[in-house]
Amino acid sequence: MIKIRYFARLREHLGTADEQMALTPEIRDLAALTEQLRRRGGVWSEAFGGEQSVMMAVNEEVADAAQPLRDGDEVAYFPPVTGG
């Protein structure tokens, strides 16, 4: 299983803060996971359709699409940061 967390505008848009997902062989990296989420349709394809900039992290470190995923990973999706 992996845990997926969503923050800020993305969390509100998707209507969910986090979920657990079984890690299948197809979900080998972040690119594959993102594509799987986008295929859910509706708000998911809007959020991950490329219109809006989405940042990703794995185990609390910023990661890019090529980042491989392992069982037990915590993945996070969020908009560009606006703190400070």
Rule CB under 8 A: say whether 42 interacts with other proteins.
Answer: no
Whether 5 and 74 have beta carbons less than 8 Å apart is answered as yes
HSE (CB half, 13 Å, CA atoms) of 80? 2
One symbol per residue from 49 to 68: x for binding other proteins (CB under 8 A), - otherwise; what is it? ----x---x--xxx------
Query: What is the nearest approach in angstroms of other proteins to the Cβ of residue 83?
Result: 3
Rule CB under 8 A: say whether 26 interacts with other proteins.
Answer: no
Rule CB under 8 A: say whether 43 interacts with other proteins.
Answer: no
